[in-house]
Structure 1
Amino acid sequence: MNHDRYNDDYIAAILHETKTIALLGASPNPDRPSNGVMRFLLSKGYEVFPVNPGQAGKQIHGQTVYATLSDVPQPVDMVDVFRAPEYLDAIVDEAAALPTPPKVVWGQLSVRDDKAATKAEAAGMKVVMDRCPAIEYPRLVG
């Protein structure tokens, strides 16, 4: 898939079908984008599992923080990545190794690695990169 541009229907379908999200790089700092996006996603009815090894066991927006993706206690539909692009490949490997891999790997604004995207797609996952669900949701879902 070409990740330079996404069809609106592709992104809208992901946002409609997704119910559970692991948010990698979640921050308790309200000034961080990951914190605001997590708050937004929770407000739209998504179940969000924050993942950040430095915050594991604590709470962000009332949700328990997990150290790793494999520590999240249930399968998730989407992995939303607030990490530098160079980590995306390893995140795809971790997601693909889960007993129930996510349906989607979503790289936040500036998070893009085409090699990792190809690997995720080969494993059956949809990929969105360099986009933010908190921007796309109001635009496409309402």
Structure 2
Amino acid sequence: MAHDRYDDDVIAGVLKSTKTIALVGASPNPDRPSNRVMGFLLQRGYRVFPVNPGQAGKQILGQEVYASLADVPEPVDMVDVFRASEYLDSVVDEALALDQPPKVIWAQLGVRDDQAAVKAEAAGIQVIMDRCPAIEYPRLARLLG
């Protein structure tokens, strides 16, 4: 799939069908985008599992933090990646190693690795890159019902 542009229906479909999210690169710092986006997602009713090895066992926005995707206690629909582009491939590998991989890997604004996307898509995982759900959700509210 080309990742330069996404149809609104594709993004809305992901946001509508997703219920659980592992947020990789979650930060306890309220000034960090990952913290603000996590708060936004929680307010919209998503279950969010923050993933950050340096914060494992602590809490971010009232949610227990996990060291890795493998440590998240239940399967997730989506992995939201707040890591630099050079780490996206390893996040994809980690997701593919799960007993039940996510349906979607969503890479945040500025995060893109086309080879990692090809690998994820070959395994049946939908990939969205260089987008933010906290921007897309309000923009597509009319499609989300």
**What does residue 111 of structure 1 align with?**
111
**What does residue 52 of structure 1 align with?**
52
After superposition, residues 1-142 of structure 1 pair within 5 angstroms as 1-141=1-141
Partners of 1:138 and 1:96 in 2: how far apart?
30
SS in 2 for 1:111: coil
Partners of 1:105 and 1:135 in 2: how far apart?
17
SS in 2 for 1:124: coil
Runs (4+) of structure 1 exceeding 3 A deviation are: none
Query: RMSD over aligned Cα, in angstroms?
Result: 0.6
What's the CA shift for 1:106? 0.3
Q: Deviations over 1:20-59 (max 9, x none)?
A: 0000000000000000000000000000000000000000
State the TM-score, normalizing by the size of structure 2: 0.97
Identity of aligned residues (%): 76
Partners of 1:98 and 1:12 in 2: how far apart?
25
How many residue pairs are counted as aligned between the two chains? 142
Partners of 1:38 and 1:62 in 2: how far apart?
11
- What letter is aligned with 1:12? A
Partners of 2:26 and 2:52 in 1: how far apart?
6
What's the CA shift for 1:141? 2.5
- What letter is aligned with 1:92? V
Q: Deviations over 1:84-129 (max 9, x none)?
A: 0001111111101100000000000000000000000001000000
Consecutive unaligned residues of structure 2, counting only runs of 5 or more, are none
